[in-house]
Chain A
Amino acid sequence: AIQVTQSPSSLSASVGDKVSITCRAGQDISSALAWYQHIPGTSPKLLIYAASSLHSGVPSRFSGSGSGTDFTLTITNVQPEDFATYYCQQFKIYPFTFGPGTKVHL
């Protein structure tokens, strides 16, 4: 299985900040990576697919970059509704492993 790691595991932010989360795959996955936002008590939401494509309806303050093994999710101008846990997931090889998550908190 492809190991997927994320850093940091948690980060503190204020409204208006710019934050970045890194996701690293244990082997080359090209651009087969997605990012999700998960707020407790709700279902996860897709933010980014194919490493850098913004899902329909997702605010443009979210962006993704990277390919191969290293990927980044960036949130510019953090809003109150962005405090959540963020996960990356690789889709190159089964099983489609998730990263362990990054909690963005105040």
Chain B
Amino acid sequence: QVQLVESGGGVVQPGQSLRLSCTASGFTISHYKMHWVRQAPGKGLEWVSIISEDGFSKYYTDSVKGRFTISRANSKNTLSLQLTSLRPEDTAVYYCARGNLPDLYIDVWGTGTTVTVS
């Protein structure tokens, strides 16, 4: 069964850091680009970042550039998101997700992990 499960969320103070992890099962992440998407309380979905299959190409939304770092460990079938210099507006449910062809649309979503910055 294809599945993504995030972990690592929690409550932190502004300026602190957090590392989110995402473990895949039922498929090999090395074959896919992987995304992070978030949803702040009462708000819509916001695309955060993407990483290429080999981990060399990474893109971020402007609001997290220089603060968040996406990475992957294909040998462990895991994806990570390092969050630093956290702000209250980063409070959200964070989803990892699989990008598929064509266009890298998201066909598999994780269960989500909640980050609260307060």
Chain A 69-97: CB-based contact to B (< 8 A → 1; otherwise 0):
00000000000000001010101101111
Write out the residue numbers on chain B whose beta carbons fall within 8 Å of the beta carbon of A50: 102-103, 105
- Interface SS of A by simple majority: loop
Check B89 for interface membership: any CB of A closer than 8 A: no
Q: Confirm or deny: A46 has a beta carbon within 8 angstroms of a beta carbon on chain B.
A: yes
Is B103 within 8 A of A34, CB to CB? yes
Nearest B residue to A96 via CB reads B47
A1 at the interface (CB under 8 A from B): yes
Q: Are A98 and B45 in contact (CB under 8 A)?
A: yes
- Taking the closest CB of chain B, its distance from the CB of A69, in whole angstroms, is 16
B4's closest neighbor in chain A, by CB?
A43
Shortest CB-to-CB span from A88 to chain B, Å, is: 10
Task: For the complex formed, measure the closest distance between the CB of B49 and the CB atoms of chain A, giving whole angstroms.
Answer: 9
Residue of B nearest to A31 (CB): B103
* B45 cross-chain contacts in A, Cβ below 8 A: 36, 38, 44, 87, 89, 98, 101
Find chain A residues with CB under 8 A from B100 CB: 49
Q: Say how far A81's CB is from chain B's closest CB, in angstroms.
A: 17
Chain B residues within CB distance 8 Å of chain A:
35, 37, 44-47, 50, 59-62, 95, 100, 102-107, 109-112
Cβ of A100 under 8 Å from chain B: yes
New contact pairs (17) apart from A94-B59, A96-B104, CB-CB < 8 Å: A1-B61, A31-B103, A34-B106, A43-B95, A43-B111, A44-B45, A46-B107, A49-B107, A50-B102, A85-B44, A87-B44, A89-B106, A91-B103, A96-B50, A99-B44, A100-B44, A101-B45
User: How extensive is the interface on chain A, given as a class?
Assistant: 20 to 34
Kindly name the residue among B35, B37, B50, B103 whose own CB sees the greatest number of chain A CB atoms within 10 A. Answer: B103
A interface, CB within 8 angstroms of B: 1, 31-32, 34, 36, 38, 43-46, 49-50, 55, 85, 87, 89, 91-92, 94-101
